[in-house]
Structures are given as structure tokens and as C-alpha cells.
Amino acid sequence: MVEPVSVDLLVHAEFVYPVDAAMNVIPDGEVAIKDGAILYCGRRKPEGHWQTGRVVGGSGFAALPGFVNCHSHTASVIFRSQTDDHVAKTALLDVAFRLEKDITEEEWGLCAMLGTAEMIRAGITTINDIWYAPERLATLVAQSGLRAQLAYKVFDVKLENLRDGDYSHYPDIGERRLADGIAFAQTWNGRAEGRITTRIGTHATDTCSQTLLQTARDEATRLGFGLHIHCAQSSAEVDEIRARHGCGPVTYLDRIGYLGDDTVLAHLVFATDDEFKLIAKANAPYAHASTIYPRRGRYPDLAKILKHGIRTGLATDWMLNDPFEAMRYALNGARMVAGSPQALSCDDALYLQTMGAARVLGLENQIGSLEEAKYADLILVDIDQPHLQPYYGSSAALVYYARASDVKVSIVDGKIIMDNRNIPGLPADLGVDAIRDATPRWRSQLQRYGSRAVYGEGCTCW
């Protein structure tokens, strides 16, 4: 008689989506987990093959890798509904950059808790975040069980002055923020049982001087940290870089030696075909934040970016932390730009939100697919929902029809961090009460800064 194989956790599912090279779908499948890693992923073994203390899932569930969010601002939920009717320039310069300076670290922590909970409940198991008060987010990541790459937002302009065209650079601001970013990166790298790693987060090509960008690159290389930057995201950024350096933002980063295979580039909305070639040559990865671009009325040519062989993954960016929406927006946006439904497939979208995004972060050998020896980061989706039935099992069933609220179980490092949508590592109210208490002050500030969506005096809708 063969002895049963001891495992820590067994995940059963009506359909398993490993996101392997063949993009197979496994009916009546299971994932066996031992010591935080995947021991087996495939068809269900006969009864008695495994010895385990707990089984989750079963009929009515789909199992797939946890979603990887390769560019995020978890605490940016504070801007929800306040920039959605603005063009990109005014959304950032008139509203966001002016309010950011008024928010306390405690308030950023409250917003980070809300964003962290939202991401976990949406099936995101790994984030790559750049923002203020990263220590607050790092603490929440450690408590909640999430996996993360984190960076402090480094710049040397006064962001609130950019609306007036004032791009003056202040070396003291840059030196201080870079020092703080390096200190954060060194303190938190490898924490939370290795789930937290860190980057140097230079904000953007136009908000960092050349000296600051080159110093950040030198320090990142010396210390072994990756870089994270917004690039070619707005016409204002492109105009500023062209005026100062006579080229586009990507070309500029290449000329000053900043680009590298460890440099996560977010957006590339205004990048040119020649710049795509530079990115591919440097093997720099690209974070595609699909849900934000249609709001601004301009969508990057995702199909062309992929044809250049650029490592690409999907990201939420800010305010809407829903990977299902990100996949749908990516599909619809790419197809609209190309004028063809064949520009991107549902398999492509699922890959970009899992393995693609893991490759962007350099974690493709650890997460992003359900394969033996990888970390056991996976989610269970309840497919017994009216909007998902009849469920035929193809990736389109998930990508086009599933919702964030369908995610019931989330597992990171083999540990259940969300069970039936409860997140034991976070407070029961997820900080909502404190957010509601702070909202009146934020609303008042936003009104002063010209937000168009605040109910009350000055609202253009009434």
C-alpha cells in the first residue's frame, strides 16, 4: 500500500488555470501545497493520495494564480471620483499634486489600508507600489500577508507648482527624498518572511532632474535594487523633456544611462516606435495601466508594444484596484486601437495580469503561474454566479465576465490571507470608519483645488 503524501493545504477546483506555456485549462483539478510552495498542480488524484489538514475550494470554484499588479499607488484611493472628468494634465497638476502635500502620514496609512483590502479582495496577491509613507503600506503588507515590491516617491520639484509651468529643481529636496527612499529600501527589503522587496522610486522623467535620475540609477545599481518610474505618461511631461533635452522621455532615459532590465516603466502613452525599440534593446519592462488611459482619451498601442518583445504586464495604477477590469480594458483598448478583435486575446490578457506582470517585476520564476516549486500564490473564484453561468471553462469566462467580488479565497506563500472574503490580518472595518471621518476635510480641500466632482458649492452638475 502506497503511503499518502503529506501536504499542508489542498486546493480543489472545478477548473484550474495554471497559466503555463500552453495556457492549459485543467477540469476537476487540484493544487497541493507544502512549505509555502506548489508541490503539484494537475488533475485530481484518487482519494487518499494526499494527507492534509485542510482542503479548500471544490465544485463551483476556479483556481488560478494570484494577480500581479506591476504598478500601483495603493493609498491613492483618496482621489476617487475627483479626477475622472479631467484631462491628464489637470487631473495631476491641478488636483492630485496640490492635495498630496496636505495629507498626513497617518491619513496615507488609512488610505493604504483601504487600498490593500480592496486589492486582496480583488484577487491581487502581489503589488509594485510607489507612493508616500511607504512604511505604513509595508506594515499593512506584512500584517495582511500580501506580497509586495515597494518604493518611496522621489522627486526634486515642488509638485504643487507644476500647474504654473514651474519646473524648478531643488537639489536639497531631491537629496533628502532619495536618501529617505534608500533608507526605506534598505530597512524593508526582505522583511515579512521575504514577501517584501524594495525599489528606488524616481517619480517621473520631468519631476526628477538629470542629476537626481543618474544618482538614483547609480545607487540602485550599487545596492542591488530595481527602479520604478512614470515615463511618457502625459503631454506636459513630453513637452518639458523635449524643451530641456531635445528628445522624448524614453530616449532621454536611455541617453543618461538610466534604462535597464530592472527599470519598471509605467504608461508609455506618448512613447514613439523608435522609443519602443530602445526599451526592447534595454530589456526594460513595461507596466500597462489599462483602466486609466481611456479616462484621458488616449490609449497606448499595446499590440505594437508586445510585438516589440517588451516585457509587459497589467497594472491598476490608482483608484480602481480591480484586475478583472484591467484585463477587460486591456482587451477593449488594444482592439479599438488596432481596429481588430485579434489584437489581444483573453488568454493574452490573463497572461499579462499574472505571468506577464511577474516578468515585469523579475519574479517569473517565483510567482505568476501554478507550477511546481513556485510560491503558492493563488486565488479561488466562485463561478456559481448568475453572471458566470453557464460556465464553459475557457479563459474568456473569467476575463470578460468575472468580477472582483467573485474572489472568495486568496493564498500567498501557502497561507490563506482571505477566506470567504474575510481578511484576518486587517481590522474588521478595514479603516472605512476613519476614512468617513476624514472625508469632509478632504472634500473641502478638493473644492479649493478645482475638483469638478465634489457635491455642493461649485459642482458643475447641478
pLDDT tens for each residue of the chain, 462 residues long: 689 999 999 999 999 999 999 999 999 999 999 999 999 999 999 999 999 989 999 999 999 999 999 999 999 999 998 877 766 667 788 888 999 999 999 999 999 999 999 999 999 999 999 999 999 999 999 999 999 999 999 999 999 999 999 999 999 999 999 999 999 999 999 999 999 999 999 999 999 999 999 999 999 999 999 999 999 999 999 999 999 999 999 999 999 999 999 999 999 999 999 999 999 999 999 999 999 999 888 899 999 999 999 999 999 998 899 999 999 999 999 999 999 999 999 999 999 999 999 999 999 999 999 999 999 999 999 999 999 999 999 999 999 999 999 999 999 999 999 999 999 999 999 989 999 999 999 988 888 887 765 555 444 433
**Cα–Cα distance between 299 and 269 in angstroms, integer?**
6
Q: Which of 299, 383, 284 is nearest to 344 (CA)?
A: 299
Reported as type and span, the H/E element at residue 284 is none
CB 304 within 8 A of CB 276: yes
| Same domain (yes/no): 51, 187 | no
Burial of 22 (0-12, 13-18, 19+ CB in 10 A): exposed
- The CATH number of residue 402's host domain is 2.30.40.10
| Same domain (yes/no): 349, 252 | yes
**What pLDDT score was predicted for residue 89?**
64
- The CATH number of residue 145's host domain is 3.20.20.140
CB 387 within 8 A of CB 403: yes
Please tell me the total number of residues recorded for the chain in this structure: 462
Residue 425 lies in a domain: no
**What pLDDT score was predicted for residue 462?**
34
CB 33 within 8 A of CB 11: yes
Residue type, 81: S
Structural domain range at position 134: 67-360
| Same domain (yes/no): 155, 200 | yes
| Same domain (yes/no): 135, 223 | yes
Residue 323 lies in a domain: yes
CA 352 and chain centroid, separation: 12
CA 78 and chain centroid, separation: 17
Residue 146 lies in a domain: yes
| Same domain (yes/no): 202, 285 | yes
**Sheet holding 312-314: strands in order across?**
67-72, 124-131, 147-154, 196-202, 226-231, 263-267, 286-288, 312-314
Q: What's the grid cell of residue 64?
A: 488560478
| Same domain (yes/no): 48, 15 | yes
Distance in angstroms between the alpha carbons of the first and the last residue of the chain: 76
Residue 117 lies in a domain: yes
CA angle 445, 449, 451 (to 5 degrees): 95
| Same domain (yes/no): 31, 96 | no
The CB density around residue 2, as the number of other CB atoms within 10 Å, is: 6
Residue type, 291: T
**Cα–Cα distance between 447 and 98 in angstroms, integer?**
12
Residue at which a domain ends, from 360, 386, 410: 360
**Cα–Cα distance between 342 and 358 in angstroms, integer?**
24
| Same domain (yes/no): 347, 209 | yes
**Cα–Cα distance between 459 and 457 in angstroms, integer?**
6
CA angle 252, 257, 260 (to 5 degrees): 100
DSSP strand pairing (124-131 vs 37-43): unpaired
Q: What's the grid cell of residue 211?
A: 542629476
CA angle 268, 269, 272 (to 5 degrees): 70
- The total number of structural domains that make up the chain: 2
Q: What's the grid cell of residue 91?
A: 487631473
| Same domain (yes/no): 214, 189 | yes
**Cα–Cα distance between 292 and 297 in angstroms, integer?**
9
**What pLDDT score was predicted for residue 454?**
54
| Same domain (yes/no): 35, 131 | no
Q: Which of 165, 115, 169 is nearest to 137 (CA)?
A: 115
Q: Which of 310, 216, 204, 200 is nearest to 257 (CA)?
A: 216
**Cα–Cα distance between 215 and 200 in angstroms, integer?**
11
Burial of 392 (0-12, 13-18, 19+ CB in 10 A): exposed
| Same domain (yes/no): 351, 378 | no
| Same domain (yes/no): 128, 250 | yes
Q: What are phi and psi of 292, to 5 degrees?
A: -85, -30
Residue 231 lies in a domain: yes
pTM of the complete model: 0.96
Residue at which a domain ends, from 332, 360, 388: 360
What does each C-alpha distance from 250 to 17, 221, 228, 294 come to in angstroms? 36, 19, 13, 22
**What pLDDT score was predicted for residue 92?**
81
DSSP strand pairing (415-419 vs 312-314): unpaired
Residue at which a domain ends, from 336, 360, 384: 360
CA angle 423, 426, 429 (to 5 degrees): 90
Residue 446 lies in a domain: no
Residue 15 lies in a domain: yes
Q: Which of 341, 253, 349 is nearest to 306 (CA)?
A: 349
**Cα–Cα distance between 259 and 217 in angstroms, integer?**
9
Residue 297 lies in a domain: yes
